[in-house]
Structure 1
Amino acid sequence: MTILIDSDQVIAGPALVPAAHDLAREAGTELTIGLVNNMPDAALKATERQFMKLLQAAAGARRIRFHCFSLPSVKRSPEARWHVESEYSDLSDLERGKFDGLIVTGAEPIAPELDQEPYWRDLTSLIDWAKTNTRSTIWSCLAAHAAVLHLDGIERRRLPAKCHGIFDCYVVMSDSLTHAAPAPLKVSHSRLNEIAESDLAEAGYQVLTRSAEAGVDVFVRQYASRFVFFQGHPEYDALSLQREYLRDIGRYLARERDNYPRLPVSYFDAATEEKLARFEKKATHERHPALTNELPGLSLRADIDAGNAAAVLFRNWLRYLGADADAAVAAR
């Protein structure tokens, strides 16, 4: 699947390319970007839309050829597998093509260790390929953890509790990626593990942003390609954390998980947090899937600024990807 994104194009779905659209590549104005979407089935389509909208908003006058892929070894339901097979490009097309940038998402963990995941071999092959075949690659959340494990043997560490919420992240090193970034950058994090900053520094990575509560946020390393790592999810929309939280409540009530999920940090307003605390007490005493029908109405805090951090990061990332093409055009 290839989508040609213009700044004024309305994105309705992953296969939106009018047949009559002029697909001719305009030197210096077009970038080719791939998304390797390994997110769980429930988030598969939402992740497509989030990244497409981000790239569209960040593109300015540029045109972007946007290709979707997924690792074939990621376990899928029949419906999600049909969507991937019918709407996504085959992963072999990635290695045959020429990509300016690549975005690789995490996946839902299945095995106790990353290198035991069924998709480990596919993912590490992709990491090795991206080092020399893209100008820059973004590795998101679990994909970031997998990449540093494969590249430098850096092990992620289990957190005592899930890092889940909106966190204030601050720029700690000047870099083109964080140019003109607001202080703080409010970024969604949703993970059970972390990479220690001391381990990254020892291996030669540069930390660009961090949070006092959530730890390392964005870090980078230069190969032939510039690798950018997100421990968080700047691409998340305003309701992404809510969907995850409600999913985890449903899993608790269905006895698919042992512990009741904690509230996302700095996310729901005070009145909603009070209602959810009362619901938690009832759920722990009357644990039954039918209780999901009694969940209260939810309201978010007014200051979460969903998407603002991503707007800055992705605009600067596209400028980095387009710098060589711009220089070539200027030299003519």
Structure 2
Amino acid sequence: MTVLIDRDQGITSPALVPAEGDLARDQAGADLNIGLINNMPDTALKATERQFMKLLQVAAGPRRIRFHCFSLPSVRRSPEAKWHVESEYSDLADLKRRRFDGLIVTGAEPVAPELDQEPYWRDLTDLIDWAKVNTRSTIWSCLAAHAAVLHLDGIERRRLPAKCHGIFDCEAVTNDSLTHAGPTPLKVSHSRLNEVVEGDLAQAGYQVLTRSALAGVDVFVRQYTSRFVFFQGHPEYDALSLQREYLRDVGRYLARERDHYPHLPVSYFDAATEERLARFEKRARHERHPALSNDLPALTLRADIAAGSAAAALFRNWLQFLGAEADASVLAR
């Protein structure tokens, strides 16, 4: 499956593929081939597609993008999600039959205690090795970033005392094209139970581009034949992504699928909502039952979360890098 994205096209689903002849050719430069390896949990599968398609559309400006969706076949799926992947995604074998300008690889919900014990580990490490020499740049997101540095350099992620969950102010710590003209600070969503620390990355030769005083390393890079970009956070998240995750975890607690009540996302809900949720938590601890989720209070986000602004800057700069490389390659022929 290939979607041809231009700035005037409506984005709803990767199943909607406009005919190539329906889009006028312009002088914006060579089309970019971008692949998304979407390994997100079933509940976030379709939302992740839409988030990245909309983000790339905004960031690309007049340049057209040929967008290809894949998923690792060894990621466990429900029958419905498996049908969606099989009917609307390209086969992963097709990935290695062409050269991609850019690749985006998401994490998957953990099912094993260690990354190298995950059922998809072999498929993922094969992908890492392939991407090093067959893309101009690859983005590794959250758990995929942790898996990549473990495979490449043996860097072990470390368990956090509490989940890093919320929107964090991240500052650029070096002058790099990826963070050029970005907002200050970059407000980035993080949602993870583990981290890789800056000292381990620096010792192995990675360059940290952004960090947060509260969340630690945010974006870091390493140059192979491909430029590898690693996100510990989720700049692609839309405004409601963290809310959906929080409510999912509340539901799992009420259903006794998890032992601990989730912490509120940092710097996300407004003060009145946090007070209502604190009262609801006290009630949930005493009246623990799935039906209680029907009594969750109305939720209002803070006005200053700046959803999408960090992602717009990062992906605009990433696509400009890919475009310059692609145009230079065309001129060199």
TM-score of the aligned structures, taking structure 1 as reference length = 0.97
Displacement of 1:110 in angstroms is 0.4
Distance 1:299-1:309 versus aligned 2 partners, 3 A rule: same
Q: 1:29 offset after TM fit, Å?
A: 2.8
Alignment-derived partner of residue 3 in structure 1:
3
Unaligned runs of 5+ in 1: none
1:313 positional shift = 0.2
Q: CA deviation at 1:330?
A: 6.5
The CA deviation string for residues 80-115 of structure 1, in whole angstroms up to 9 with x for no partner, is 000000000000000011210000000000000000
Query: How many angstroms apart in 2 are the aligned matches of 1:221 and 1:30?
Result: 25
Aligned twin of 1:19: 19
2:182 alignment counterpart: 181
Q: What pairs up with 1:18-97 in 2 under 5 angstroms?
A: 18-19=18-19, 21=21, 28-97=29-98
- Residues 212 and 25 of structure 1: is their aligned pair in 2 closer, same or farther, counting only changes over 3 Å? same
Q: Deviations over 1:213-266 (max 9, x none)?
A: 000000000000000000000000000000000000000000000000000000
- Take 1:25 and 1:111, find their aligned partners in 2: how far apart are those partners? 48
Q: Structure 1 residue 286: deviation in Å? A: 0.6
Paired position in structure 2 for 1:135: 136
In structure 2, do the counterparts of structure 1 residues 40 and 167 end up closer, same or farther at CA, with 3 Å as the change threshold?
Answer: same
Query: Residue 29 of structure 1 contacts residue 61 of structure 1 at CA under 8 Å; is this kept in 2?
Result: no
- How far residue 327 of structure 1 moved from its aligned partner, in angstroms, is 3.2
Displacement of 1:61: 1.1
The gaps in structure 2 that reach 5 residues or longer are none
Q: Does the C-alpha gap of structure 1 residues 66 and 287 become closer, same or farther in structure 2, counting only changes over 3 Å? A: same
Partner of 2:308: 307
Aligned-pair CA distance for 1:18: 2.4
Amino acid at match of 1:97: R
Task: Indicate if the aligned counterparts of 1:100 and 1:135 stay in contact, CA closer than 8 A.
Answer: yes
Q: Is the 8 A contact 2:4 2:18 kept in 1?
A: no
In 1, Cα distance between the equivalents of 2:275 and 2:317?
39
Structure 1 277/16 Cα, relative in aligned 2: closer, same or farther at 3 Å?
Answer: same
Number of residue pairs the alignment of both structures matches = 332
Distance 1:261 1:324 in 2: 44
Residues 302-323 of structure 1 deviation map (CA, whole Å, 9 limit, x = unaligned) = 0000100000000000011011
Question: What's the CA shift for 1:273?
Answer: 0.1
Q: Say which is worse superposed, 12-21 or 266-275, in terms of deviation.
A: 12-21
1:268 aligns with 2:269: yes
**2:190 match: secondary structure:** strand
Q: Normalising to structure 2: TM-score of the pair?
A: 0.97
Shift in Å at residue 13 of structure 1?
A: 1.0
Judge which range, 278-287 or 13-22, deviates more.
13-22
Partner-residue secondary structure (3-state), 1:276: helix
Distance of 1:43 and 1:115 partners within structure 2: 23
CA distance in 2, matches of 1:36, 1:92: 12
User: 1:38-92 CA deviation, whole Å, 9 max, x = no partner?
Assistant: 0000000000000000000011110000000000000000000000000000000
1:22 positional shift? 5.0
CA distance in 2: counterparts of 1:177 and 1:156, whole angstroms: 24
